[in-house]
Amino acid sequence: MNDELLKAIQQSVNDIQGNYYKLKVIKTKSANVNELCKKLGLPYINVNLQLSLFLMKNQSKNNPLTAQQWINNLCKNYQVIVLDYFELLYKPSLKLQPISLMRNLSKYNGIILIWRYDVHRCSNGKISLVYANPNHLEYQIDDITTEEYMGEDYEI
């Protein structure tokens, strides 16, 4: 299965070239995405880890604009970047819309987003990314296009 995920990541990089929005979402529960990115020579960021370190250093500026500026600065350094484990972006106090933020950033840089949550496909072709349960504070549903979604669940 790692070969399938490796191919999906590489295909995603190829697919976004020349697009206005260079966002690709890959659904997987695989824990070794970082290793696969190393094989492909792609930068990989564990967003939770890096953002939590940044927010701890900047506690007085722990606000949505600071977090958004951080992710903007991070992404602008790469032509294509793989972002994984980004649950912290859903923290209500940050007041962010992570998928909209990623889509906006993808106008300038390729973003491969590793999605580890539910995906709903509607009969009208719409694809919805579902984060958390409906009764959870961080619950969000974001629609993406079929062009932004890379296939089905790539298991371990």
- The answer for residues whose C-beta is within 8 angstroms of residue 155's C-beta and 6 or more apart is 1, 28, 29, 30
Dump pLDDT digits (tens) for 75-130. 999 999 999 999 999 999 888 999 999 999 999 999 999 999 999 988 777 899 99
| Residue 4: alpha-carbon gap to chain centroid | 19
One-letter amino acid of 101: L
pTM of the model: 0.91
pLDDT at residue 156, rounded to an integer: 45
Strand partners, 45: 83
pLDDT at residue 122, rounded to an integer: 82
